[in-house]
Amino acid sequence: MSRGQRNALQPELTDSHCEFQNFARTHSPTRLMSSENTYSLSREHCNLKYSDILPQNAEGYPATREFLMKVVDILLDFIKSTNDRNAKVLDFHHPSEMMRLLDLEIPDTGLTLQQLLIDCSTTLKYQVRTGHPHFFNQLSCGLDLVSMAGEWLTATANTNMFTYEIAPVFILMEHVVLQKMRELIGWSGGDSILAPGGSISNLYAFLAARHKMFPAYKERGLAAIGGQLVMFTSDQ
């Protein structure tokens, strides 16, 4: 069902009718919510859109605050349900079923902040709870809430760690963390880099090994080696 078809079956959200349409009681990430505890915005803000809050609207902080606080409520409820051993790790549906449950149609106009809250709650309802005590996977396992809070902070800061000029605190933090990591493996000095994953780590290791064996390669290229580089690896 498209969003247009769904809206045709539901009352329009107006200033006098800005209820969450009992959504939280049936679609909340935690099924334990009371009818009074919903994610409904106030009547003053329920029909607002992206252009009505910061940074587009310099006077939009009250609406911005209420919207983000509701988002935080959704996230906290998801965290609570994620740590409930009696809750499902996944509310599984086959792709064809999921397409009927979700409204993935890209609209031509912006949605209201209230609809965005509904979409956020729906997204988490059908998401795998990777922080659940019964979830085990080769890439994801558990959720450290302190680290999660740090990720909220870095996302809010929205800073690229290019130079000290643009990210002074984060640059110094990176320097201290890398220094500590070198100390843990017994190195008193040196340089370091944070790798985002296994594949790029292997590439870094290859480049470091090449530079150790053929330091002239960096300035003079393959011609400085006088032969073909060979790398041994497993057949896996």
pLDDT at position 7 over 60: no
Kindly report the average pLDDT of the chain as a whole number.
85
User: What per-residue confidence (pLDDT) applies to 139?
Assistant: 77
| Model confidence band, residue 222 (pLDDT cutoffs 50, 70, 90) | confident
pLDDT at position 205 over 70: yes
Q: Is 17 helix (H, G, I), strand (E, B) or coil?
A: strand
Distant-in-sequence contacts of 203-212, Cβ < 8 A, 24+ apart = 206/231
Distance CA 69, CA 53 (A): 13
pLDDT in tens, 20-46: 444 443 343 333 333 334 799 999 999
**Alpha helical stretches, state H, 131-185:** 145-157, 168-184
Burial (0-12, 13-18, 19+ Cβ within 10 Å), 190: exposed
- Tell me which range, 146-155, 185-194, 220-229, is most confidently predicted by mean pLDDT: 146-155
Q: What is the CATH number of domain 60-148?
A: 3.90.1150.170
pLDDT at position 70 over 70: yes
| Model confidence band, residue 94 (pLDDT cutoffs 50, 70, 90) | very high
User: What per-residue confidence (pLDDT) applies to 35?
Assistant: 30
pLDDT at position 216 over 50: yes
Distance CA 175, CA 190 (A): 11
User: What per-residue confidence (pLDDT) applies to 2?
Assistant: 53
pLDDT at position 223 over 90: no
pTM of the entire predicted model: 0.76
Tokens at residue 227, please?
């032969």
Token pair 């769904």 in the structure block, residue: 6
Name the CA radius of gyration of the chain, rounded: 25
Tokens at residue 26, please?
């049936």
Tokens at residue 236, please?
């896996």
Is there a contact between 117 and 70 (Cβ–Cβ < 8 Å)? yes
Q: Is 113 helix (H, G, I), strand (E, B) or coil?
A: helix
Q: Residues of CATH 3.90.1150.170 domain(s) within the chain?
A: 60-148
Is there a contact between 68 and 48 (Cβ–Cβ < 8 Å)? no
Check residues 226 and 97 and name the one with the higher pLDDT: 97
User: What per-residue confidence (pLDDT) applies to 58?
Assistant: 98
Q: Which residues pair with 14 in a beta bridge?
A: 17
2: CB partners within 8 A, 6+ apart? 103, 105
